[in-house]
Amino acid sequence: MRKARRTSWIAIAWAGMAFAAPWQAAAAARVEGDGPVPRLIAEINELRARHALPALDVSATLSRSSERFAAWQMTTDRFAHAERIRAGGHWAALGEAIAIHRGWRARVGATVRRWSRSPSHAALLLSPAFEAAGAGVSRGRYGRGLATIWVLHLARR
């Protein structure tokens, strides 16, 4: 199905959990830096702290799966949830949030705010069941304009 043109933000969360194939376990690692992806995870952890929830560990495998899926959506001009989250590691449960907006600016704060104001997104971000996360962002030509696509993968070991 081709993506529909929109002039407003589209943000969709899959609050249900998908089950991952048991692949090689990945150690959670802190991502340092001031790029958009570390800032997104930091803002989500700040939101969780305001709700007395523990911070999410940053997983290299979840980050790679998020990055790959964001890039795939951009190159195929499709914006939809994955039928199955393909993340390496032994995860008991996985969740996904995706967002898209026009333009190349990352808009980290706006993305987290929109997710936190959506009941299904907030349930996902504030779920105590998740303990690890990875995020990916892709910027480029989408349809007839420029867009930024975010993918957030959350997991429980």
For 95-152, the pLDDT digits (tens) are 999 999 888 788 899 999 999 999 999 999 999 999 999 999 999 888 888 999 999 9
And the tokens for 16? Answer: 């249900």
d(CA 79, CA 125): 20
pLDDT reported for residue 149: 93
For 110-122, the pLDDT digits (tens) are 999 999 999 999 9
Helix (H) or strand (E) holding 59: none
Chain centroid to Cα 115, Å, comes to 10
d(CA 40, CA 76): 24
Per-residue pLDDT band at 83 (split at 50, 70, 90): confident
Q: Model-level pTM?
A: 0.77
For 37-68, the pLDDT digits (tens) are 999 999 999 999 999 999 999 999 999 999 99
CA atoms within 13 A on the CB side of 48: 23
